[in-house]
């Protein structure tokens, strides 16, 4: 316990920097879809901009390893935060889908670089015995910051530059803990290639779950504020999204504990059944129903759908040697990123052509059912004995509890797509 506390103090500046960063991310996550809709963009185009952000994130994760090896953690973090700050301010003048996309793509790349830099540093400093407990604190703190960020712009009207200025200020302020730290920055690991085909052969269920998590979760989080707007509850959009993260926090640890006791694929299936039920409830919610029922529905969706990616990572870890662990986690994030590019495109089309933003949750329910069916089919293959399982550690999809491996290994840059997969 004392060792973990000392380690927590060691990485406190890194956790603080990412918490400030997540405040900006949470604020932009609500404000940007609403601003794009106010700019006259259809839901198809809002989804397309979300997809370009994901593409930038994937590219940034691939590039970060080379940057870290060349100029070091502090300089990389500083440069990426500076670009994020500038791109955020430029968003005020965005007009049309191309302008939004051209600004969001480099922002996504720099967000990935920021996560990769801080978390690769963190994982290098932490020892194996205390890593799980310290990352647990990190996971909780950053999700609270992500959920709280939208409320900083809740009182601003559309067209008010205040939310963008607050977000830009957060990107600038996250530099302070990193630049003032007295710690010596670590030496990054060298790049190594990895084939996604071999990843699928090792743990098909983990690859399927990661891909479908990207397909669903990034789409819902990117377009959910438009559901509140369509219901005439635009002022409730920050609380609506916060409910999803609150649901995730309520179940993450229980689900992780359960996955250490029983087959992780069964836990993934159960969580997706819960997420699909929440999404379906919102889809079937009659227009005259109170908006609090939609908030309850998205909390249930978040409790299931935002809690299983880390269990998929743990499932992959159960079947991977220690020497290949970083490459496996990197590849899984790469698979998630592919899904997160296509998901918002499809969901935006569905929402625009069918039931408005309400159709988004019908799409999410379908993805949840697909995950359940996939895990059920994979359960026919025996899993590892309980004694062979590693302890569960929470993973945040958009951060480099998963993504730091991409920074360390440069795996996305060196991935060889195995056609047999």
Q: How far apart are the first and last CA of the chain?
A: 44
Confidence bin at 59 (pLDDT 50/70/90) = confident
101-105, 175-179, 194-198, 277-281: segment of lowest average pLDDT: 194-198
Confidence bin at 88 (pLDDT 50/70/90) = very high
Give the residue, 169 or 355, on which the prediction is more confident. 169
- Tell me the range of 36-40, 326-330, 335-339, 370-374 where mean pLDDT is highest: 370-374
pLDDT at 407: 33
- How do residues 308-345 score in pLDDT, each as one tens digit? 887 887 788 777 776 666 667 667 778 888 888 898 88
Q: Give the residue among 196, 212, 171 at the shortest CA–CA distance from 80.
A: 171
pLDDT at 365: 94
The domains of the chain are located at 2-416
235, with CB counted inside 10 A (0-12, 13-18, 19+), is: exposed
3 state SS of 366: helix
Residue 138 has pLDDT above 80, yes or no: no
Give the residue, 306 or 354, on which the prediction is more confident. 306
pLDDT above 90 as % of the chain:
25
Q: Which residue has the tokens 């996305």?
A: 412
Instruction: Evaluate whether 238 touches 153 at the Cβ level (below 8 Å).
Output: yes
Q: Give the residue among 203, 145, 126 at the shortest CA–CA distance from 378.
A: 203
Fold (topology level) of 2-416: Growth Hormone; Chain: A; (1.20.1250)
- How do residues 16-27 score in pLDDT, each as one tens digit? 898 999 999 889
Q: How far apart are CA 229 and CA 294, in angstroms?
A: 13
Q: How far apart are CA 363 and CA 381, in angstroms?
A: 29
């Amino acid at each position: 316990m004392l060792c973990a506390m000392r380690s927590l103090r060691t990485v406190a500046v890194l956790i603080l920097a990412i918490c400030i960063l997540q405040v900006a991310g949470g604020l932009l996550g609500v404000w940007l879809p609403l601003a794009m809709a106010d700019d006259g963009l259809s839901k198809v185009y809002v989804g397309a901009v979300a997809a370009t952000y994901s593409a930038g994130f994937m590219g940034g994760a691939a590039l970060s390893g080379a940057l870290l090896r060349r100029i070091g953690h502090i300089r990389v973090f500083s440069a990426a935060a500076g670009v994020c700050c500038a791109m955020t301010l430029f968003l005020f003048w965005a007009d049309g889908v191309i302008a939004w996309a051209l600004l969001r793509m480099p922002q996504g790349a720099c967000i990935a670089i920021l996560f990769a830099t801080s978390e690769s540093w963190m994982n290098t400093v932490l020892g194996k015995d205390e890593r799980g407990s310290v990352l647990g604190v990190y996971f909780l703190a950053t999700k609270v910051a992500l959920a709280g960020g939208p409320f900083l712009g809740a009182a601003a009207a559309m067209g008010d530059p205040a939310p963008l200025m607050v977000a830009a200020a957060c990107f600038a302020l996250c530099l302070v803990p990193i630049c003032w730290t007295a710690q010596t920055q670590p030496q990054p690991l060298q790049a190594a290639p990895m084939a996604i085909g071999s990843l699928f052969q090792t743990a098909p269920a983990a690859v399927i779950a990661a891909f479908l998590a990207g397909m669903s979760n990034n789409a819902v989080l990117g377009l959910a504020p438009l559901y509140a707007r369509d219901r005439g509850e635009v002022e409730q959009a920050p609380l609506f999204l916060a409910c999803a993260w609150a649901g995730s926090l309520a179940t993450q640890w229980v689900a992780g504990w359960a996955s250490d006791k029983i087959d992780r694929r069964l836990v993934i299936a159960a969580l997706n059944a819960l997420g699909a039920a929440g999404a379906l409830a919102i889809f079937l919610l009659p227009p005259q129903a109170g908006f609090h029922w939609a908030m309850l529905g998205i909390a249930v969706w978040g409790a299931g759908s935002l809690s299983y990616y880390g269990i998929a990572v743990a499932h992959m870890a159960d079947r991977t040697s220690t020497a290949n662990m970083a490459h496996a986690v990197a590849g899984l994030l790469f698979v998630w990123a592919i899904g997160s590019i296509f998901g918002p495109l499809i969901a935006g089309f569905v929402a625009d052509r069918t039931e408005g933003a309400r159709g988004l949750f019908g799409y999410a329910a379908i993805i949840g059912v697909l995950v359940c069916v996939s895990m059920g089919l994979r359960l026919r293959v025996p899993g590892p004995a309980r004694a062979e399982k590693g302890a569960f550690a929470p993973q945040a999809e958009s951060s480099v509890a998963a993504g730091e491996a991409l920074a360390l290994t440069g795996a996305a840059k060196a991935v060889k797509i195995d056609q047999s997969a």
